[in-house]
Structure 1
């Protein structure tokens, strides 16, 4: 079992709605220290929360963070950007921007912290995906999350020999600043993060955090026309 109590957690994208919830709940669950990272980290009114600059698109920044946070035992790859709906309407440069953060940024963090996690007895790596990893309705964003899902599956196998648990977290629309402009039903970030921490503590490989992610996951074994009615 992965112990959150007594752990040292690093959260990327800690300024965002989901990231801040990871920080708050991590402290409540007994983490001794949390590195709250962002390009421009905010101040936190708790000595256990350590603001740390981290730009996941910069190799130098990621390496510097890995050196500063060498006692980390749980890494939460939460940083991400949104954008583009139709691939045919977006420039290739815009899609590359999404992949730079959502895919290669997350991979860069995983690679830099893998030795750190090994030195802590294995620890855990959490990659925050999306139900859109499996559901291609958001163009370049869906494609980037699908790529991250695939990378997570590979990392799970590659990091298993060193005892590192790799958890892929999937969620639908959640009430954060990233989805503020959308008029849709949204989950409470507190519920989503609680489910992800539960998955980590139970050594689960996947965290299906809401009903929509469970429904889409189960639909993957069916015909594509059932998942995408427009193809009928």
Structure 2
């Protein structure tokens, strides 16, 4: 689909990648941009419509779908990332919170907005995933599990929404230079670069985008004779 003239909703739009999405939508000529955040007063970008939206709260997601009933592009960006291994302290609680936000959050949004997108011609749904969808290391163990589940969710939604003409795009990326990744070491991609890759892919009609070189390398390694997720054992 084309962004020029679109009406879009971005979840988690008050900072980081979500803010970059909202800004790029305006720059590319979107007609209206709803910027969702738990606290709408934290939305300071001129030209967007702040909307109260905590993706863990069913009532707020449903209210957002009623308020933003004119959207034809929904960007599931809101997410959390906590550090720690599977066998570390707090792993159960971290798993629960990661799945609540990173899996059930996008699912709630997709369920609420699928009928809206259908009424408005199909449009598109973008899910922000991760290279951690495919490779899991102790640093981001429970986060990676949630992104693997979100990848499965995205793959399923592609099939379920195909009949109503909704393009479902999954974005896989490594570390992005935002507050969420401030404790991570290693190369980080500017959020603007991730957004450009995503929107270019959206306008081409793609269903998946590998937004940086590390992600592309990991993706190629999934089908290697020694798959990358097994090679990671020696690199841990």
Give the TM-score normalised by the residue count of structure 2: 0.94
Q: Displacement, 1:82?
A: 0.6
Could you say if the C-alpha distance between residues 186 and 60 of structure 1 is closer, same or farther in structure 2, counting changes exceeding 3 Å? same
2:148 aligned to 143, 146, 149, which one?
A: 146
Q: Which residue of 2 aligns with 1:96?
A: 96
Structure 1 contact 74–124 (Cα < 8 Å) conserved: yes
Preserved CA contact (<8 Å) 2:70 2:116: yes
2:203 equivalent in structure 1: 201
Q: Which residue of 2 aligns with 1:26?
A: 25
Distance 1:209 1:84 in 2: 22
1:109 aligns with 2:125: no
Q: Distance in 1 between matches of 2:102 and 2:170?
A: 14
Equivalents in 1 of 2:86, 2:131: separation in Å? 18
Residue-by-residue CA offset, 1:53-106 (whole Å, 9 max, x unaligned): 000000001000000000011000000001132111133122101100000001
- 2:153 is paired with a residue whose SS is helix
* Residue 3 (structure 1) shift: 1.3
RMSD: 1.3
Tell me if structure 2 keeps the 8 A contact 1:167–1:204.
yes
**Aligned position for 2:77:** 78
- Tell whether the 8 Å contact from 2:14 to 2:36 is kept in structure 1 after alignment: yes
1:210 lines up with 2:236 in the alignment: no
- Name 2:122's counterpart in structure 1: 122
User: C-alpha displacement at 1:176, in angstroms?
Assistant: 0.2
Query: Is structure 2 residue 168 aligned with structure 1 residue 188?
Result: no
Residues 173-210 of structure 1: CA distance to partner in whole angstroms, max 9, x if unpaired?
11000011223211111111010011111110001110
Query: Cα–Cα, structure 1 residues 113 and 195, in superposed 2: closer, same or farther, change >3 Å?
Result: same
- After superposition, give the CA deviation of every residue in 1:138-182 in whole Å (9 maximum; x if it has no partner): 210000000000000000000000000000000011100001122
Cα offsets for 1:108-132 (capped at 9, x unmatched): 0001000000011000000000010
Note if contact 2:91-2:142 (Cα within 8 Å) is conserved in structure 1: no
The structural deviation recorded for 1:45 is: 4.9
Q: Secondary structure of the equivalent of 2:183?
A: coil
Partner secondary structure for residue 84 of structure 2: coil
Q: Which runs of 5+ in 1 are unaligned?
A: none
Report Cα offsets for 1:13-72 as digits up to 9, x if no partner: 0012100000110000000110000100224353x3100000000000100000000001
Q: Is the 8 A contact 1:98 1:141 kept in 2?
A: yes
